[in-house]
Chains A and B, each alone.
Chain A
Amino acid sequence: MSWINKLPPKIRGFLEPKREVPDNLWVKCPETGQMVFYKDLEANQFVFPGSGYHERMTAQARLRHILDNREYERVLVTAVPADPLKFRDSRRYTDRLKDARSETEMDDSVLVGEGRLEGQNVVVAAHDMRFVGGSLGMAAGEAVIAGMLRAVEKKCPFILFAASGGARMQEGILSLMQMPRTTIAVQRLREARLPYIVVLTNPTTGGVTASYAMLGDIHIAEPGALICFAGPRVIQQTIREQLPDGFQRAEYLLAHGMIDMVVHRHHLRETLARLTRLMMRQQGARVSTSMAPGYMNGHGSHKGASIEVRRTSAAGDVVDVEGEPIAAAGKSDPSKAAPRVEATKRDAGTSRPTTPVAKPDTRT
């Protein structure tokens, strides 16, 4: 307990803005009540040492924890109109936004950055619960889309740290429309065959879960995280029954087949690095553009605006050129092309019965 708490409110209020540590020097574990020194908690990646409870993290901390040298570069996000519904409430929505911005130093609830993960390029987006409950509005939708499209541009994996109370009520239908909008960007990642890994953290709910957060190639959850569509309170009100133990927690979702794994925060970085490495390794070596028609991507059976294009090199080898055809054709880097061609040759030796070999596209 700090002596500051004993001061009259006026003096306390005067002192408070000067604090560098959020809330208090001491943080209480929500599970056991254990008091932990903030610096110790931060050093332990915001996991309480006693109970292993995973405390919420800011988006900035998320990105720093996961990326090499704790460095990231922010990805530019399209600006959106502020308060399109002129939403009136006990407070003006624009005032709420202003407060959230000064508290979080973020534009909105999703921060997108690019950096390296064990040397590999990645784009990472993270929700921040401090910003209007991590809710999905127009700005967050644009941020997710920008991040995914940036990954397509860079031909690198996209990692999402989800944490959200769901759609942002103050933006009404325009918030709901972010569900299909972000899904379009997920499809672009899929067409480009780039890994999309979702890390579901406490809590991930509502419209976020019911769109891009449940459409990853791999779903990882942090221990104990609440992950759901309808929150426990809503369900209890509907059915008026006691909810089962551990209902809608990460471990429950694992048991019900909705996620691939539950990973302790201390092992998250290495897990993500391993997965992205494995998934990206043969990317340059693919021979075929077509895949078995998949019901989930829906583009398998139709030929069309796949982002991927093939070119035939002078030597007649199939060269993989992913991304925008014009840009790729413009900057043909021989140092990069060489190992790719070699990889293609090597790959051609191994038979892949499930993947039909497609004709090289000669449009470019």
Chain B
Amino acid sequence: MRTYLDFEKPIAELESKVAELRMLSDSESSIPITDEITRLQQKAQQLMVDTYAKLTPWQKTQVARHPNRPHTVDYVSAFIEDFTPLSGDRYFGEDAAIMGGMGSFRGRSVIVLGHEKGSDTETRLKHNFGMAKPEGYRKAVRLMDLADRFNMPVITLVDTAGAYPGIDAEERGQAEAIARSTDRCLALGVPLISVVIGEGGSGGAVAIATANKILVLEHAIYTVASPEAAASILWKDATRNVEAATNMKITAQDLLQLKVIDTIVPEPLGGAHRDPEKAARNIGDGIAKALGELDGKTPEEIRRHRQDRFLEIGRSI
């Protein structure tokens, strides 16, 4: 079953009408209603184009969090061959909120890291809704070590509301783990390409997104704090989330203008969840292009490129 967002109501109505008519035309083939179906379908399509061309920041947040939106597991299975998951930070535990492993991306061996939110109650709990604990970030550091040693580019898929705010996470040094992971990203001598596929939330995202090239899906968001958290910090009122989302410049389009990100990856009409395969292809093409641009660079050049990229942020806006 398809889940519609509140602003998609008119589209939902049209699409259900189309479905109804289809049923009718199947059962009572005597009435020629195919023209009507085509007309309504075109109307729905046009409505979708119009709606998605001018989504507000809050609507984009909703799309980015859509329950059917493809996640890291979906994309990894779509464009990583021979994917071999790797587990554990070797200090304390395994954190399924950040998936990691090695595999093959269009002929190159790569390390893949990505937040995974889960797609039903069971997997959401297993992956802690994509909110990582220190173990997740320490595992990321471990896998980046491997990447450096075996000369494998790193691909990270970012999709988290933020790092997990809990007693156990704090107890084991959440802040330190995030800081070390960012630090490790910056020291990598192999290319690091990040794609924000849904929500890029706060330090929990930066920790694996301090990359040479940052790609953001058309309707994804990347923010200093989730709109709810920002509203709570600014006004001690988490219900002013829409206002926070609007003010904070969190959309891919805003981020490109602020020169924080490099590329916007187009999504299929109506969001990645309406055509996950196409979304995966677009992301794959984006990663391949970004990697190609870094080909032939020495480890030191790659590191310097990444550091210069970040030092430049804010200095020319």
Contact = CB atoms under 8 A, between A and B. Distances in A.
Nearest to A219: B176
A85 B186 contact: no
A180 B230 contact: no
Given A169-B233, A229-B163, A229-B175, A174 B170 contact: no
A87 interface: yes
Nearest to A255: B171
Contacts of A81: 314, 317
Contacts of A302: 189, 299-300, 303
Given A212-B179, A302-B300, A172 B188 contact: no
Interface string A246-287: 011000000011100000000000000000000000000000
Interface residues of A, number: 66
A245 interface: no
Contact of B249 (A172, A184, A228, A303): A172
B51 to A, nearest CB: 25
Interface in A291-337: 295-299, 301-305
Q: Is the interface of A mostly helix, strand, loop or mixed?
A: loop
How many interface residues does chain B have, given as a range?
35 or more
Contacts of A170: 234
Interface stretch (A8-16, A33-41, A236-244, A340-348): A236-244
A80 interface: yes
Q: Which of A171, A172, A227, A296 has most chain B Cβ within 10 Å?
A: A172
Contact of A183 (B165, B182, B230, B244): B182
7 smallest beta-carbon distances between A and B, as pairs? A298-B187, A230-B165, A304-B300, A209-B175, A229-B175, A176-B224, A210-B203
Given A166-B233, A172-B247, A247-B170, 19 more contacts: A81-B314, A85-B247, A169-B244, A173-B223, A173-B250, A174-B317, A177-B314, A180-B185, A183-B210, A210-B174, A214-B179, A215-B180, A227-B175, A234-B229, A238-B166, A243-B167, A247-B167, A258-B176, A301-B148
17 contacts: A85-B249, A138-B314, A167-B224, A172-B248, A173-B224, A173-B250, A176-B203, A179-B203, A180-B206, A187-B307, A207-B224, A209-B179, A230-B163, A238-B165, A238-B166, A248-B170, A258-B176
Interface of A: 78, 80-81, 84-85, 87-90, 138, 141, 145, 165-167, 169-177, 179-181, 183-184, 186-187, 206-207, 209-215, 227-230, 234-235, 238-239, 241, 243-244, 247-248, 256-258, 295-299, 301-305
